Amino acid sequence: MNEINRSFTPAVISSNRRILVTGGSGFIGSHLCERLLDAGHEVLCVDNFFTGARANVAHLLDHRNFELMRHDVTMPLYVEVDEIYNLACPASPIHYQRDPTQTIKTSVHGAINMLGLAKRLNAKILQSSTSEVYGDPQVHPQPESYWGNVNPIGPRACYDEGKRCAETLFFAYRMQHDLPIKVMRIFNTYGPRMHPNDGRVVSNFIIQALTNQPITLFGDGEQTRSFCYVDDLVEGMIRLMDRTPDSVTGPVNIGNPGEFTIRALAETVLELTGSRSALVRRPLPVDDPRQRRPDISLAKSLLNWEPTIELREGLAKTIAYFDAFLASAQAEVYAAH
């Protein structure tokens, strides 16, 4: 991986905005809420708690500028805000495949409802899309101009095609109503507050290592992913939302271009935890991408953004979080999910 420039100045966010974050008690959403509050904004966090958890925002509940609302975005929402970050949707295969119809509704109906709210308020709105719109890519690394290679009827389609349709809706509202939109394609992200039971590779490996369980490698472990620490991701998200002119709509890839095999990730986790867990192989899931790496040229040129946190540094922080988590009562709460 090339050396990363750590000299950029974090995005400066103008104050006095009331901001809606859907999916705000989830992994990424909770970090975004925290960052927006630190910048002096009022934050309305909306979540139906399907994968999010109150524990993720418990430290924010007494903040004078924070409000938490239980609501499902598949139903209309009538609030007054200046900006909307639409993060609501389960993002791991275990969760989005549990109820594929509801996953599609969350992406599509949720987008329609949030776009309708933004249109009524003439509010800027950002869609958290995903690298899954590229499917199992035949172009590597993946630029925003690549249209993808997605199986529309496979087990991952409820998420992949739901997010693709949401992007279409956002640009339709842009063309038809001149709505100020932003579309961000999120690549693999990790860090504290990941759901421990969501089946994602980073949280899986860390928990298995810390509990001395066998570490499961799907396939031969030579498939690749690129891992972005959550603080870097949130910085990119805010930069895209605040980028002027508003004609900069995206889509923009936000992720870490450092590419690692899944086997290398497992070996790094074993080293950092000191675990003696064995590596065991399992069959590769259907339609699981063999390669995933973002081309972040647009993010660099339009947002002056690139990640600053190397994988080993981010993993150390994430391991420390899960080590404390497993020793706490929160583990029992998540075990019920």
The token duo for 183 is: 């579309």
Mean pLDDT of the chain: 91
- pLDDT above 90 covers a percentage of the chain that reads 79
Task: Kindly state the average pLDDT of the residues 267-274.
Answer: 96
On the question of pLDDT at 3 being above 80, the answer is no
Name the one residue in this structure whose structure tokens are 């090339």: 2
Alpha-carbon gap, residue 218 to 216, rounded angstroms: 6
Q: Before 90, cis peptide (omega within 30)?
A: no
Contact 51, 95 (CB under 8 A): yes
Q: Before 257, cis peptide (omega within 30)?
A: no
On the question of pLDDT at 45 being above 90, the answer is yes
Phi, psi of 78 (to 5 degrees): -120, 95
- The dihedral formed by the CA atoms of 36, 39, 43 and 48, expressed in degrees to the nearest 10: 20
The DSSP string of 107-124 is HHHHHHHHHHHHHHHT-E
> Among all residues, which ones are annotated catalytic?
159
The DSSP string of 230-298 is HHHHHHHHHHHHH-SSTT----EEES---EEEHHHHHHHHHHHHT--PPEEEEPPPTT--S---B--HH
Task: Kindly state the average pLDDT of the residues 312-326.
Answer: 96
Name the one residue in this structure whose structure tokens are 């899960």: 322
pLDDT at 200: 87
The token duo for 104 is: 């599609």
pLDDT tens, position by position, 103-162: 999 999 999 999 999 999 999 999 999 999 999 999 999 999 999 999 999 999 999 999
Predicted TM-score of the model (pTM): 0.90
pLDDT at 97: 85
The token duo for 63 is: 């903040």
Give the residue ranges of DSSP H helices in the chain.
27-38, 93-96, 100-121, 157-177, 201-210, 230-242, 262-273, 297-303, 311-326, 330-335
pLDDT at 2: 34
Contact 326, 211 (CB under 8 A): yes
Tell me the pLDDT band of 288, cut-offs 50, 70 and 90.
confident
pLDDT tens, position by position, 191-203: 999 998 888 899 9
The domains of the chain, with CATH numbers, are 18-335 (3.40.50.720)
> Biggest alpha carbon distance in the chain?
58
